Amino acid sequence: MRLRGILPVKSKLKLPVMLGLVLLLLVPSLGFASPANDVSSNDDLKRFMVAFKSEKLPAGYEEMVNAAGGELTYEVGEIGVLEAVTDNPLQFIKAMNSEREVMSITPAIEVQLDLPEFEEAGELAEGTNPGVLDPDESIWESGWQWDIEQVTNEGASHEVHSGTHDVVVGVIDTGFDFDHPDLKDNIIGGPDASRTFVPGTEDSWDNQSHGTHVAGTIAGNGRMKGVAPDVGLKSYRVFNTGGAQQAWITAAIIAAADDGVDVINMSLGGTRVVGQWFYTDPETGERVRLGNNQAADVVAYKRAIDYAVKRGVTVVSSAGNSAQDMSNPSKVADWIEGNAGPEYDVRGAAWFVPASIPGVITVSAMGGGFGTEDRLAFYSNYGNGAINLGAPGGDLGPEGYDAADNFKFLVLSTVPTYMDGQSARGKELFGENGYGWKGGTSMAAPQVAGAAAAFISQVYEETGKKPTPRQVQNRLQQTAASVDSSGYSRYYGHGRVDAYQALTR
């Protein structure tokens, strides 16, 4: 895959960034601010994804785009997909549609990094939480990590098998704090072995905190513990602070698979249409269709996921935070039209991606902990046939809970040590930067990714062979803890992921 028209800007992105108290969890829907020489900075240009009938780019594809009045900005040659911009959408669409190699075209809709919003918690309530710790005390042993305790059976799975660096989880997200004391020993190859797909950046340092938080849940090993505290990690950065183009994400999937990772975690998503797109020229009123009913952006995701799975990669994704029934997707078509622009209309059903793509383990978010019952988090998507597993994602406590320490029902994990604003509550309670709370299906997916990595590592150590993605998924589903049903649940799929049972049953 190659990025076109972008000159790299040297930056380490290791500067303190004040993003507000982490307990606010207000992750803004900000698009990436591209460098001045990026063609995407021109508001007069429209961005499109193009999928070719072949899973390889045809000969002369760049000349084809140029002749259609477009400019090639990104290509993912391994799956026959490219991105282009144009100042004449009507001409571009008609010209590309006339090419026999083209399958379909869709507007390139930015993927947003969104978390549910929580109100700021009050002062620490004495006697109703694990309490304040000294900097040399273990967070894991203190009882703050209710989510990892649930998934690992109070740490029992760590004693069975905690993973090895022979198994690596690729985290497609905002990047890592590579110097975090609870992560650095598990990051394979350090920052040089990780990658960025964000224009204008050269490295995968975390400039937001989301990716570092996800990494800690998977493989934290220090004051706090992850689900699989000895597996390897690699970062594939596709977000800066909020938005990413889908082409960057699909390219990251391909890169992670080519790098030989065993698990991909994608705590991200968006909504895409399985159906037919139309464009109406605002000046002439002429209406044209964008290829056939196989929308290019969905095709790109399907091909990328299939590419990874065929190479033995288990792919895990968050279900999404819009509290929608994923088994009834037609309701979100209006949202698609609004985000693509008034020139577009669409016919068909909408999918949550990558969550709904075949081959993905899709995870809903649960609340619980501190003596409270399991429950679907208020923001979590759900749906018959759409969810594979549930996992702790956090909320602000059960109905009626109004104590000031309600933040404890969120998920605690690592955050960048160089971001004071993300560590404010953690520093207050634990005496140093580097720990904070978040909530969302983004926090649930890495619980499953960690359990998958631990199981793969155990099988590899015992047999010298790694299980297939299907075998991993089946194992996690068969050993999941029943929550509201002894069978399949529309809220939690096959149940809450249970790393201990996956390793011992």
Q: How far apart are CA 505 and CA 493, in angstroms?
A: 19
* Phi, then psi, of 298 in degrees rounded to 5: -70, -40
Q: How far apart are CA 60 and CA 70, in angstroms?
A: 14
Domain count, the chain: 1
Q: Which residues contact 295 (CB under 8 A, 6 or more apart)?
A: 104, 106, 272, 273, 274, 275, 276, 277, 348
Contact in structure between 187 and 235 (CB atoms under 8 Å)? yes
Active site includes 173? yes
Q: What residues in the chain have per-residue pLDDT under 70?
A: 1-43, 119-127, 329-339
DSSP 210: H
Domain span including residue 464: 110-273+315-504
Q: How far apart are CA 113 and CA 270, in angstroms?
A: 9
Encoded amino acid at 49, one letter: M
Residue 272: which H helix or E strand, with range?
strand 270-280
Q: How many Cβ atoms sit within 10 Å of the Cβ of residue 141? A: 14
Residue 97: which H helix or E strand, with range?
helix 89-97
Contact in structure between 420 and 433 (CB atoms under 8 Å)? yes
Encoded amino acid at 499, one letter: A
Reference 500, options 140, 215, 158, 167; nearest CA is 158
* Residue 286 maps to a domain: no
* Residue 48 maps to a domain: no
* Residue 94 maps to a domain: no
CA distances from 445 to 88, 95, 144, 310, 391 (A): 40, 41, 19, 21, 7
What's the pLDDT at 43? Answer: 59
Q: How far apart are CA 406 and CA 176, in angstroms?
A: 27
Q: Which of 104, 209, 380, 442 is catalytic?
A: 442
Active site includes 136? no
* Residue 127 maps to a domain: yes
Q: How far apart are CA 455 and CA 499, in angstroms?
A: 8
Could you tell me how many residues make up the chain?
505
Number of H helices, E strands in the chain: 14, 20
What's the pLDDT at 120? Answer: 53
* Phi, then psi, of 112 in degrees rounded to 5: -100, 145
Contact in structure between 3 and 73 (CB atoms under 8 Å)? yes
Ordered strands of the 102-107 beta sheet: 2-3, 70-76, 81-86, 46-52, 102-107
Contact in structure between 197 and 236 (CB atoms under 8 Å)? yes
Model confidence pLDDT, tens digit, residues 156-184: 999 999 999 999 999 999 999 999 999 99
Model confidence pLDDT, tens digit, residues 400-425: 998 889 999 999 999 999 998 888 88
* Residue 297 maps to a domain: no
Q: Which of 173, 203, 262, 405 is catalytic?
A: 173
Q: How many Cβ atoms sit within 10 Å of the Cβ of residue 119? A: 11
Q: Which of 161, 210, 213, 494 is catalytic?
A: 210
* Residue 178 maps to a domain: yes
Reference 78, options 63, 60, 57, 49; nearest CA is 57
Active site includes 489? no
CA distances from 425 to 27, 124, 167 (A): 17, 10, 33
Q: How far apart are CA 267 and CA 265, in angstroms?
A: 6
pTM for this predicted structure: 0.91
Start-to-end CA span in the chain (Å): 42
Structure tokens at 497: 């992921």
What's the pLDDT at 123? Answer: 64
CA distances from 13 to 183, 211, 245, 343 (A): 18, 14, 20, 37
What's the pLDDT at 486? Answer: 79
Adjacent-strand bridge partners of 250: none
The dihedral sign for the CA sequence 492, 384, 306, 295: negative
Reference 275, options 334, 327, 348; nearest CA is 348
Peptide bond before residue 354 is cis, with ω within 30 degrees of 0: yes
Contact in structure between 142 and 225 (CB atoms under 8 Å)? no
* Residue 86 maps to a domain: no
What's the pLDDT at 129? Answer: 85
What's the pLDDT at 122? Answer: 59
Q: How many Cβ atoms sit within 10 Å of the Cβ of residue 105? A: 26
What's the pLDDT at 35? Answer: 28
* Residue 51 maps to a domain: no
The CATH number assigned to the domain holding 402 equals 3.40.50.200
